[in-house]
A and B are shown apart, each in its own frame.
Chain A
């Protein structure tokens, strides 16, 4: 008599166990499809919220006091005077551009002659950040451009301070950028004033949102001077980023377990937490 109610009581757990097995057996392609569907479903929400924030900022500035407007006017006039100086330099810079273009053409010709792979060129695409997801297990940004702007998975992403990460998933009108703090983010880098390649890898996010990275495979003769950090920059060897883009600063290096190289913590710019706009580097091949 008591077996029947017991069976009924255990039914949800049996059903749950059955569901676990089903979920475990579902092919990854179906899981990936489900995830993409949910991402597409959420994308408009992030876009709308980001646009609402933009409008709120706009209306907030419309209500600025006279004092604020005067301050902003001063800033604008400073920028305008800087533009005037830059205009004077325009002829000089145009000549330099022409000279560099000639060098580039001759290099391309030489590459063709010796059958070298064409050099990767980048096309910038500016995009606005709609959501920042900075949890302790995963750090990513969602941006307001995707397939519709020919953004591809793996494209490098920059911000005004240097490298930000790479595109991890692309939806129709949005994309997710995996930040350089994630441990899957691993690129070839180098120190400024040194051409030898080193490895940069993300190292998560610490207390107070402190962004961290690790540099490894550093030759022994590279030593940071006390108080003056070493500047870690990108290397063109990685393929996703152009040469010489800042990554972070290294204050201390210690010998790796194998004793062959050194490694150290990379201090990243804390402003990454506040970014509103980024640049996606779309690849353009010169054939």
Chain B
């Protein structure tokens, strides 16, 4: 069972990596029109849904390192933020008893906006060397929010299909 757990955690990590790479490549193509999608909110709740706290914490930590390198954010930002939101998400799931996929998506949607604001604040406060255009950043956050819900719902259903048998066997 432990071996199966590790394999499944590795699969989720690989899926996260692939999605990060896809978003980066899409952003690379969209740079011609000055649009940049920032979607870190996709990468923490699924781990909490399918794995125990320790494994989902490690998945979020490694994904955070991967995101920091891929998105060129201050190194350590996502490494800290994703595990933090994983812990908050875990508590939210535990105490509210939410099993509705739309509620999960909405929670991630709000988290995505919050992470964006935290990134902006951390850059303004701690990284005075980085010049950030608030108008461009706000537009990117709005555009990311517009595409977030459909992408999140698709991603959730994809993961549910992949890990359906696994989560069923875990419950039994």
The listed residue (A13, A39, A202) touching B87 by CB distance below 8 A is A13
B69 touches A202 (CB 8 A): no
Cβ of B149 under 8 Å from chain A: no
Is B103 engaged at the interface, CB distance under 8 Å to the other chain? no
Chain B residues near A274: list those with CB within 8 A: 32
Count residues of B near A (Cβ-Cβ below 8 Å).
44
Chain A positions 32-77 with a Cβ under 8 Å from a chain B Cβ: 34-35, 38-39, 42, 45, 49
Cα(A23)–Cα(B168), bound, Å = 36
Q: Is the interface of B mostly helix, strand, loop or mixed?
A: helix
Among B25, B75, B131, residue most surrounded by chain A Cβ atoms (within 10 Å): B131
Question: A12-B87, A135-B27, A135-B72 known; 10 other A-B pairs, CB under 8 Å?
Answer: A12-B57, A31-B76, A132-B31, A134-B34, A138-B73, A184-B129, A204-B133, A208-B33, A210-B34, A273-B34
Most A C-beta atoms less than 10 A away, residue of B34, B68, B130: B34
Chain B 112-153 interface residues, beta-carbon cutoff 8 Å to A: 119, 123, 129-133, 135-137, 139-140
- Determine the chain A residues whose CB is within 8 A of the CB of B38 once the complex forms: 135
In chain A, what residue has the closest Cβ to B20?
A: A42
User: Would you list 7 pairs from A and B whose C-beta atoms are within 8 A, ordered by A residue?
Assistant: A135-B36, A135-B38, A136-B36, A140-B72, A182-B130, A204-B131, A207-B133
* Contact partners of A20 in chain B: CB under 8 A: 80
A211: nearest residue on chain B (CB-CB)? B34
Are B73 and A133 in contact (CB-based, < 8 A)? no
Interface residues of B (CB under 8 A from A): 21, 24-25, 27-28, 31-36, 38, 53, 57, 61, 65-66, 68-73, 75-76, 79-80, 83-84, 87, 90-91, 119, 123, 129-133, 135-137, 139-140
Q: Is the CB of B72 within 8 A of A133?
A: yes
CA distance A138 to B31 in the complex (A): 13
User: Once the chains bind, are A31 and B75 in contact (CB under 8 Å)?
Assistant: yes
- The reply to whether B136 and A206 contact each other, CB–CB distance below 8 Å, is yes
B133 contact set on A, CB distance < 8 A: 136, 204-207
Checking A16, A23, A135 against B71 with a beta-carbon cut-off of 8 angstroms, the contacting residue is A135
Q: Which residues from B are CB-within-8-Å of A202? A: 131
